[in-house]
Structure 1
Amino acid sequence: MPILDQAQIDQLAERRGTNSHVLLWVVARERTSGADQAIGFWTGDDHRSFQIGAETRLYYGAGNVIDVAPVVAGVGLKVRHFRVSLTAATDEVRTLLRDYDPRLAPVEVHVAPMDIDTGGPLGTPKRMIKGTVNKLPEEVGAKGTQNKLEMTITSNALALTRALPLLRSNEELQRRLSTARGREYADVAGEWITQWGVS
């Protein structure tokens, strides 16, 4: 469970209601240069900078373009899957899809409580999800409607389900059967760069 700031606790104690926005931060590889590029979206109407830890991040206002199911925080090692829906209506969303390679890109989802009276940020945003992009298919809309993207985020607990490469290496297989070549490129296969979503 996230630890709330005192200002957030005071507003909740007043029982006048709540107001919060969702912040989506993706660090994807640029297709042309291969450098990591970060891009952020939030459910507000205009672009805004938020202080996340020691870093100030710019989030593009996506308004009703971004749709996130209610985020439920949990403790434990269970692999969780989250869905975030986007429409390709803004230039920034098209940039994420066309110019960046979002495959297995690190993702963070924060919830930013807002002041009911002023509409400004109330304390620091709280991280609710940390994971990687598992899928980002583009669903082509009917004539006259926008294309839709549904990003599936897998929590970082997925890394704990992977087998140790020491027991699945080429050397281990050669020791058991010297003519086997099934894992000959197992140590470098993860380093191959494949273009995702480009034909």
Structure 2
Amino acid sequence: MISAPTAIVDLLTNAPANGLVERKLVWFVVHDRATGAPIGRGVWDGSEDLAITVTSGITGLEETRDYYGAQLASVGEITCTADMTVQSCEIELTHIGDVAQQLVRQYEARLAQVEIHTLYLHPDTGMPVGTLLDWVGEIDKAPIRTPAIGGQGQIAIKTVSDIMSMLTRVNGRKSSYEDAKKYAGGDEISLYASTAGSWKVPWGQKSV
């Protein structure tokens, strides 16, 4: 369960009367293509670069992170459910942003870890009040949409819920015939694993 700071609770409670100002912070952990080393990069929907302390969705500890401005175009709707459905959230980055281009072209973004926080600002002063974690996921797709002349391009990143994705992911080593032979010579138990799911078994009848 996420515990919200008192300042944010007060802000949300008084929002109907005072208004509410929010910004989205998106944190990516991509990898260096040559070494595989993890690299953290942050973007947000403000216009200037920002250094702010947030709670990590992985460790639960506070971390001060740098978020680059003028890079994030939008964050899609985040749906909260109580079932095992794998939820998704689309993140759109500006096509011409240097950090956005770096994320998907220079670094390896496949299955990169993604965290989304909401930054709450004071409606009168515009100063940060605090942040709350909204989403922990991983990149599923990151197509780059190149615009026509005079058009506007974008980088649309589809992310999926990290926990649900892991719970529903199939482990190839449990069903792969080739992998079973590699770890246990002569093991034929998974010989028909790739086709057995499509077999039609005539229950109560004699098979031909």
Shift of 1:132: 0.5
Match of 2:28, SS state, is strand
1:46-125 equivalent positions in 2, closer than 5 A = 46-53=48-55, 54-62=62-70, 65-123=72-130, 125=131
Q: Is the 8 A contact 1:139 1:149 kept in 2?
A: yes
**Which residue identity does 2:187 align to in structure 1?**
R
Structure 2, unpaired ranges of 5+: 56-61, 195-208
Q: Is the 8 A contact 2:52 2:65 kept in 1?
A: yes
Q: Provide the residue aligned with 1:3 in structure 2.
A: 3
**Greater shift in the superposed pair: 2-11 or 18-27:** 2-11
Percent identical pairs in the alignment equals 29
Is the Cα–Cα contact under 8 Å of residues 84 and 152 in structure 1 kept in the other structure? yes
SS in 2 for 1:104: strand
The CA deviation at 1:75 is 4.2
Deviations 1:134-163 (A, max 9, x none): 000011101133421110001011110123
C-alpha distance in 1 between matches for 2:78 and 2:114: 14
Cα deviation for residue 111 of structure 1 reads 0.8
- Match of 1:160, as an amino acid? L
1:145 to 141, 148, 151: 151
Deviation of 1:177 (Å): 6.1
Task: Call closer, same or farther: CA 1:37–1:160 in 2, change over 3 Å.
Answer: same
Classify 1:70/1:177 alpha carbon distance in 2 versus 1 (closer, same or farther; 3 Å).
closer
SS, match of residue 103 in structure 2: helix
Structure 1's unaligned 5+ residue stretches are: 184-199
1:164-197 Cα deviation digits (max 9, x unpaired): 455325337842369x6x99xxxxxxxxxxxxxx
The residue number in structure 1 matching 2:36 is 34
RMSD of aligned Cα (Å) = 2.6
Q: Deviations over 1:62-99 (max 9, x none)?
A: 26x42112333344432101111112222111111221
How many correspondences in the alignment? Answer: 180
TM-score (normalised: structure 1): 0.79
After superposition, what is the alpha-carbon deviation per residue over 1:14-40, rounded to whole angstroms, capped at 9, x for unaligned? Answer: 321111111110000122332211111
